[in-house]
Amino acid sequence: MRSPSLAGPLALGVFNAFLPCQLIYAFAARAASTASVAEGTLTMLCFGLGTVPAMLSLGVARKLAHPAIRARLSLVAGVLVVIFGLVTLLRGFELVPHPAGHVH
């Protein structure tokens, strides 16, 4: 993150793509369901291009924000990750209902 060269942030961005994301899984399943290499590739390409503006905007906004605000945003993001992880875990044990209301 603090590397003076562009290689550090670029590497972080590349490795970020390997983090689990439900939206990526959904689009990967959609791409696989096409049973076509060309159509599946186009699906994933459109998904990737569609996320670029949002990800770039968030990155630029964070970079332009005051350091105190960046620190608070980092703290809030960390807390939200822990909360979402706990909710996911509790849903796995069926201790928290899923909003989709699965019927067994």
pLDDT at 50: 93
Cα distance between residue 91 and residue 22, in whole Å = 15
- Per residue in 19-42, pLDDT (tens digit) is 778 888 899 999 999 999 999 999
- On whether both 21 and 51 belong to a single domain, the answer is yes
- What's the rounded Cα separation, in Å, for the pair 61 and 68? 14
**Is pLDDT above 70 for 103?**
no
Those residues with Cβ within 8 angstroms of residue 24's Cβ, 6 or more apart along the chain or in another chain: 47
Q: Are residues 60 and 71 located together in one domain of the fold?
A: no
- The domain total for the chain is 2
pLDDT given at position 104: 56
Do 45 and 20 have their domain in common? yes
| Same domain membership, residue 37 and residue 26 | yes
pLDDT for 26: 92
- Percentage with pLDDT > 70 across the chain: 95
Say if residue 54 is in the same domain as residue 73: no
Element at 24 (helix H, strand E)? helix 22-33
Q: What is the mean pLDDT of residues 40-58?
A: 93
Query: Based on the domain organization, do 26 and 77 belong to the same domain?
Result: no
59 pLDDT above the threshold of 90? no
Domain range for 20:
1-64
Same domain, 55 and 94: no
Q: Are residues 102 and 75 in the same domain?
A: yes
Structure token digits, residue 69: 């605000």
Report the pLDDT averaged over residues 63-83. Answer: 92
